[in-house]
A and B are shown apart, each in its own frame.
Chain A
Amino acid sequence: MDFSWLSDPFYQEYLVEGLINTLWLLLVSAVAGLILAVAMAMARIKGPRPLAWLATGVTAVIRGTPLLVQLFFFYYGVGRLLEGIPGIQDSIFWGLLRDPFFYATLTFTLSVGAYSGEILRGALLNVPPGEREAGRAYGFHPWQVFVHLWLPRAVQLCLPTLTGEMILLLKSIPLVSTIAMMDLLQAANIIRDETFLTYEPLLLIAAIYLLLTLILTLVLQQLERHFPGVQPQRRRFRWWAQARHG
């Protein structure tokens, strides 16, 4: 085992950049994905027929195909199509549309929206209708009922599952190394190419991921503890219970 490359400032820079990109991608897709999840869940419950069908269809396709295929579809498929649109390369959006980070965020946001939207839909339907009716009886506007009653009660019901989804999201981020984005795995791949070491950089990344998973679990556990009315988890590593990726 040779870890002497760790002292090289160039490699350190790769690793730091990879770590920052990984965390940034996690944060952006988690926030955007959860907002999309609420929209998709509500579209399926209360939306007009065509919108509900669209949300159901998107959910089925996203959940039924590998994340890697989706990533290639958006980055190479959609990306190349956009490239062909005349004039687009001069527009202000071109910087964004050329960036793998954009396509990675798009793919992960859709993925979180589909998987978490399905979870949220179940939770929203499980909130007793009497509680919403009580809100209406007190003179709440339907929007107020949704924001102050329905959604918080649904989140209360499914928060542990949702936080589990966030850990699965963290674990799927290395996929972006396949579209030449500098994440932790890509940093390791570059170091492996330059130092001719097979295992050491990968083992380091595995250790960093173990640590990141542990930290994220603890952070999300605190969140669960502070959210009123959520049953505290008895098992420490909850993401065991389920899995999803690829």
Chain B
Amino acid sequence: MSIASQEGLVDWAGPILEGALTTLEIALLAYAIGVLLGLVGAACRLSRQAWLRGIGAGYSTGVRAVPELLLIILLYYAGSQALTAAAHALGLSGQVAINGFVTAVGVLAFVQGAYMTEVFRGAISAIPRGQLEAADAFGFSPWARFRRVTLPAMLPNALPGMSNLWLILIKDTALISVIGYSELFFTVQQAAASTRAHFLFYAAAGALYLAMTLTSNWLFAVVERRARRGLPQLQEH
């Protein structure tokens, strides 16, 4: 029995590593889009226009008060229906195959953006006002002010939250298996079901996710050290 399950692991190593790669692709793309959504969301929440503030607050509150799994299932159906409708509107009649990869990335990015909004809002609020006023006084355009002052000044404040969210996102990709897209955990579930070595394969899945999160921890520590250069040391407890 133990020999049979060992063979199972070797046979499934290829598909599982492929799944791990898909998971990383989904996570990286969703993270990039989530950061952009978070910046837009934070800009809305800090805007002078009341209606923009309302949209930003509604987005981040609504998404964060509902369980992620529920949101992912809801958005998956809503997203694929919207994509189908869009494809029909563009004249692509008949069966339209919805790309699972695009939906997975879109759904995770939408959720990620809501959490990112709060991280960026907090980080931008923590910038001393004088720095932004100085940029205005020197006649910076809004874009130059954002790129030269806001972004570098808020980054050290935002990085701990951003690294936390990246770890959450890696773990959230496992939820995509529930809607049946073949990423790491979905492949592992298939492997476990077909070899019946449940213990072995779920332990292996845990080890792979752990490897990803531990590596990310280390990478973010390096990036954070660089972003904080010249700033006072954080007090470690």
Contacts and interface: CB of A to CB of B under 8 A. Distances in A.
Interface string A137-157: 000000000000000000000
Contacts of A66: 170-175, 185, 209
Contacts of B199: 73, 77-78, 80-81
B210 A64 contact: yes
B203 A246 contact: no
A223 interface: no
B74 A65 contact: no
Given A77-B199, A202-B73, A245-B168, A209 B214 contact: no
A239 interface: yes
Interface stretch (A46-54, A95-103, A166-174): A166-174
B202 A175 contact: no
Contacts of B70: 174, 185, 202, 205-206, 209
Interface residues of B, number: 48
**Interface of chain A, main secondary structure:** helix
Interface in B152-177: 164-165, 167-168, 170-175, 177
Interface in A231-246: 237, 239-246
Nearest to A188: B70
A198 B77 contact: yes
B213 A65 contact: yes
A68 B65 contact: no
B113 to A, nearest CB: 12
B118 A245 contact: no
B203 A245 contact: no
Contacts, number: 134
Contacts of A80: 196, 198-199
Nearest to A126: B237
Contacts of B77: 198-199, 202
A192 to B, nearest CB: 10
Given A64-B210, A202-B73, A246-B175, A240 B168 contact: no
A241 B123 CA distance: 12
A89 interface: no
Interface of B: 60-62, 64-71, 73-74, 77-78, 81, 115, 118, 122, 164-165, 167-168, 170-175, 177-178, 185, 189, 192, 196, 198-203, 205-206, 209-210, 213-214, 237
26 contacts: A63-B213, A66-B170, A66-B171, A67-B171, A72-B189, A72-B202, A73-B202, A73-B205, A76-B202, A77-B199, A77-B200, A77-B201, A80-B198, A125-B237, A171-B67, A171-B68, A174-B70, A185-B69, A185-B70, A199-B77, A202-B74, A202-B77, A205-B70, A206-B70, A206-B71, A206-B74
